[in-house]
Amino acid sequence: MKEPLFLNSVLQEKIWGGDHLKEFGYDLPSDKVGEYWAISAHPHGVSTIANGEFKGQKLDQLYASHRELFGDSKKEVFPLLTKILDANDWLSVQVHPDDEYGQKHEGELGKTECWYIISAEPGAEIIYGHNAKSREELAEMIKSGDWDHLLRKVKVKTGDFFHVPSGTMHAIGAGIVILETQQSSDTTYRVYDFDRKDDQGNLRELHIQQSIDVLNIPGDKVPENQVKTEKFADAEITTLVKSDFFDVYKWQVHGEHEFTKVADYTLVSVLDGEGKLTVDGNEYPLKKGAHFILPSNVENWTLSGHLEIIASNPA
């Protein structure tokens, strides 16, 4: 059958989380929910198929047993992970390794990611890069706690987009909700955590040496924005990034628009609005907070209504 794979997924409570994800229709267990792992086959939070022939199956199991749905991918694990994050407070200042370092030291992929800013309160900021010019200077500034001079802060607004390759110093600031597309990895090296304590009164673990090992030098060379938009009668299609790991798009539909596949499979997240998806003559209602995969055998589909969507596919 040609049908989309809708997903039910896992909420993650975090020290910096809030309650904004209820706006997507999710039933929150507390007011400290930081992440919804919307499309995930990672063992720390696996999505479940919610419809059709494979209803009830876990995404990691489906990927292992029905690789034809994913273009007969040769990748050992499902390569991407889509999250929505609610930063009610600063996340830790952190960095992720590349694949080589991650597989050698952590036994999993490295992590390149990107952020679409769903909403941002006035004055909200992120940390994006650092100012050290050598690894020696980096180590000295970290060990002396010279964060004001080391960290690059950038103001953000709703609709902004940031590509965050492995090796990039980064942190999401308070008052920001983002859609994150990333490699399927949960390896994070904390450089600084604002001296916060957890519920048990303990400081969270830092990973200073690993961070010094993998941070980019110099740290102020961040990717140039390559966003490009095509306008159609009833839609705007924006290419946010094309990278070695994923291609990410923003689809804005205000009417009806037919799509043709450009990759083996596509991950889709509805950020706002409502409408319907039509695949092989079958209609599926869509609303804010829905997430689904268009597998390899879906070659064409139609979106109608008023929808704001982030879509991605593995490179």
Examine the domain organization and report whether 26 and 133 are in the same domain.
yes
- The helix or strand, by DSSP H or E, that contains position 251, with its residue range, turns out to be strand 246-260
Cis, bond preceding 218 (omega within 30 deg of 0): yes
Examine the domain organization and report whether 115 and 13 are in the same domain.
yes
Examine the domain organization and report whether 120 and 254 are in the same domain.
no
Q: Would you call 221 helix, strand, or coil by DSSP?
A: coil
- Under a CB-based contact definition with an 8 Å cutoff, are residues 2 and 280 in contact? yes
Residue at which a domain ends, from 169, 190, 212:
212
In a domain, 220, yes or no: no
Examine the domain organization and report whether 141 and 287 are in the same domain.
no
Which residue's structure tokens are 């209609």?
283
Average pLDDT, the chain: 97
In a domain, 219, yes or no: no
Give the model's pLDDT for residue 159: 97
Q: Is the pLDDT assigned to residue 199 strictly greater than 90?
A: no
Residue at which a domain ends, from 177, 212, 247:
212
Examine the domain organization and report whether 187 and 254 are in the same domain.
no
Closest by CA position to 208, among listed 128, 154, 150: 150
Examine the domain organization and report whether 186 and 299 are in the same domain.
no
Query: Domain of 29?
Result: 3-212
Which residue's structure tokens are 């008023």?
306
Examine the domain organization and report whether 256 and 191 are in the same domain.
no
Tell me 111's DSSP state: -
User: With bands split at pLDDT 50, 70 and 90, how would you rate the model's confidence at 187?
Assistant: very high
Q: Which of 67, 135, 152, 190 is catalytic?
A: 190
Annotated ligand binding at 42? The verdict is no
Name the pTM for this structure.
0.96
Annotated ligand binding at 44? The verdict is no
Q: Which two tokens stand for residue 162?
A: 């940031």
Contacts of 126 (CB under 8 A, 6+ apart): 115, 153, 154, 156, 162, 170, 171, 172, 173, 176
Closest by CA position to 178, among listed 128, 129, 216, 217: 128
Q: For 27-56, what is the mean pLDDT?
A: 98
User: With bands split at pLDDT 50, 70 and 90, how would you rate the model's confidence at 225?
Assistant: confident
Contacts of 130 (CB under 8 A, 6+ apart): 138, 150, 151, 152, 169, 215, 219, 220
Give percent above pLDDT 90 in the chain. 95
Beta pairing partners, 80: 183
Examine the domain organization and report whether 135 and 245 are in the same domain.
no
Examine the domain organization and report whether 200 and 230 are in the same domain.
no
In a domain, 85, yes or no: yes
Q: Which two tokens stand for residue 99?
A: 């694949």
Annotated ligand binding at 170? The verdict is yes
- Under a CB-based contact definition with an 8 Å cutoff, are residues 1 and 41 in contact? no
In a domain, 217, yes or no: no
Give the model's pLDDT for residue 226: 85
Give the model's pLDDT for residue 200: 86
To the query of whether residue 190 is one of the catalytic residues in this protein, the response is yes
Give the model's pLDDT for residue 39: 98
CA 242 – CA 227 distance, rounded (Å): 9
Give the model's pLDDT for residue 221: 86
Each residue of 255-281: pLDDT tens digit?
999 999 999 999 999 999 999 999 999
CA 21 – CA 176 distance, rounded (Å): 11
Each residue of 243-252: pLDDT tens digit?
999 999 999 9
Domain CATH code at residue 103 = 2.60.120.10
Examine the domain organization and report whether 83 and 148 are in the same domain.
yes
Q: Which two tokens stand for residue 11?
A: 């909420």
